[in-house]
Amino acid sequence: MDQVNKVRGWGHSSSSPAQPRVMAVTSGKGGVGKTNVVANLAIALSRLGQRVLILDADLGLGNIDVLFGIIPPYTLEHVLRGQKSVSEVMTRGPEGIWILPTSSGMEDLTQLTSEQKLILLSELDRLEQEIDVFLIDTATGISSNVTYFNTVAQEIVVVTTPEPTSLTDAYALMKVLSRQHGEKRFNLLVNMANNEQEATDLFRKLSRVADQFLGVAVEYIGSIPHDAYLPMAVCQQKAVVERYPNARSSLRFRELAREVIQRPVSELPKGNVQFLWKTVVSRNAEGTSCVEKRLED
C-alpha cells in the first residue's frame, strides 16, 4: 500500500488547519541539540493528535534516523535523483510520526540544484492534505541549503544554548536570513538552559541587538532545561519524551507542543495559511532564487 494512503488513516481533528504548518528548526552552530528538539517535539505533537512529518534537511550529514534507531531502506537521495517518490521513502517513526530520512556522507547533496529543489517541493506538495505539521530539521550554519529550507517555512525556530558562541552564531544566521532572504520574524528556543532566568536574559539580549541592527522581530517561545536524562535517552536511541516521560525536559517538550497547536494559524509569522511550497516553486521557476545574492555587510 502506498505510504500516502496509510497516512489517510490517521485521526484528524476537525479543528486542524486545512493547510499544514511548516516549521524550520535551525541553528547557527552545531551541538545545540537541534535534532533532539525536532525529535521530541514531533512525538509530543503526535501524542496531541497531530499528523507529523519530519524532513531531515541536513543533506549529506542527516542523523534523525540514527537518533530513532531506524535503518531506512530509502532516503531523500533516491527522491532527489528521481528514483523514488516521497511516499516510497517515508519511514514510520515512534508514536506514529513519519520521517523523510536523508543520506549521510553524500557531499554532492550539500548544494541542491534548482532541479532537485523543484523535484523535492513537487513531491512534498502531494502530502499537503495528509500532514498537520511539517518539521524541517535543517543543517547548521549559513549554507545555501540551510537558508533555502528556512525560506520555505512559515515559521523559523532558531535553537541556541547559553554559550556565547552559540548566541553569536544564532545572530549571524538571523543576519543572513534577514538581509539576504528578507526574513523578518524569528522564534527563539533556548536549549540546555540552567534556569529560566538565564534563558530569558539571553533572549532579551539577542532580541535587542536583532531589533537594533537587523530590524527583525524575535519571539521567545521558551527554553528546554539542561537535563541529564536527555543524553541518556540519546544513547538508547530514544526520544526523552518517550523514554523518560517525567523528566523536566520531557515536561517542557509537551508544553511546547501544546503551545504550537494552540497558536492560531492567523498569527503565524508570515501570516499565510497557504502551503508555501508552491510559492517557492514559482520563485525558482522564475529564476529569482535568492541563494545567489551576496550577504550585505
pTM: 0.84
62 versus 189: which is more confidently predicted? 189
- Using an 8 Å Cβ cutoff, are 130 and 7 in contact? yes
Query: How many domains are there within the chain?
Result: 1
Taking 60 as the threshold, does the pLDDT of residue 165 lie above it?
yes
Let me know if residue 169 belongs to a domain.
yes
Let me know if residue 276 belongs to a domain.
no
Model pLDDT for residues 220-266, shown as the tens digit of each residue? 999 999 999 999 999 999 999 999 999 999 999 999 999 999 886 54
Let me know if residue 9 belongs to a domain.
no
Let me know if residue 6 belongs to a domain.
no
Average pLDDT along the chain: 83
Q: What is the CATH number of the domain that holds 123?
A: 3.40.50.300
* pLDDT range class, residue 107, cuts 50, 70, 90: low
Which residue segment(s) compose the domain that 113 sits in?
18-263
Query: What stretches of 31-132 adopt beta strand conformation (E)?
Result: 52-57, 91-92, 98-100
Pull the grid cell for residue 58.
Answer: 541536513
Let me know if residue 38 belongs to a domain.
yes
pLDDT at 23: 95
Model pLDDT for residues 184-216, shown as the tens digit of each residue? 999 999 999 999 999 999 999 999 999 999 999
* pLDDT range class, residue 111, cuts 50, 70, 90: confident
Question: How far apart are the C-alpha atoms of 270 and 297, rounded to whole Å?
Answer: 25
pLDDT at 252: 98
Model pLDDT for residues 12-37, shown as the tens digit of each residue? 343 444 578 999 999 998 999 999 99
Question: How far apart are the C-alpha atoms of 268 and 260, rounded to whole Å?
Answer: 10
pLDDT at 18: 56
Taking 90 as the threshold, does the pLDDT of residue 53 lie above it?
yes
Let me know if residue 295 belongs to a domain.
no
Let me know if residue 249 belongs to a domain.
yes
pLDDT at 33: 94
Q: Which residues of 175-201 are buried (b: 16+ CB within 10 A; e: fewer)?
A: bbbbbbbebeebbbbbbbbeeeeebee
* pLDDT range class, residue 269, cuts 50, 70, 90: very low
Let me know if residue 53 belongs to a domain.
yes
